[in-house]
Amino acid sequence: MVLNIVKNATCTFCGCVCDDIELHADEYRITQAKKACMLGKAWFLNHTAEQLYPDALIDGKEVSVDQAVEAAAELLDQADMPLIYGMSNITCEAQREAVALGERLGGVVDSHTSL
């Protein structure tokens, strides 16, 4: 059995975004989430460690991440009013990048809290 250990993993379950979680995983499942609270443990332990999907798809076909980023950039560049939406389960640094992208595109930024 293979044991993978990831130190300083980030939990994005709630807004605290704890980034000192130690994850232990076999080929299929995360088996331990050290330093995570009860909610974080439940969240991590119910995720599989196996890769279910390719890293990137375009029209249902597997492509490289670089190809997918290029295609996304073209779509965003052509959009009249792109919406940067979501961001509830990402880090502050990723939120900062999302807002910068929205400003650069002249788009709109919104989060799930507007629902």
Residues that bind ligand SF4 (CB under 6 A): 11, 13-14, 16-18, 36-37, 39-40
How far apart are CB 14 and ligand SF4 at their closest, in Å?
3
Pick between residue 40 and residue 102 the one whose CB is nearest to ligand SF4.
40
Pick between residue 36 and residue 109 the one whose CB is nearest to ligand SF4.
36
Pick between residue 18 and residue 101 the one whose CB is nearest to ligand SF4.
18
How far apart are CB 45 and ligand SF4 at their closest, in Å?
12
Instruction: Measure the CA dihedral 105/12/9/54, to 10°.
Output: -60
From residue 42, alpha-carbon distances to 10, 22, 36, 46, 101 in Å are: 14, 14, 9, 6, 33
Residue nearest to ligand SF4 (CB): 40
Runs of H (alpha helix) within the chain? 38-45, 65-78, 92-105
Residue 109 identity (one-letter amino acid): V
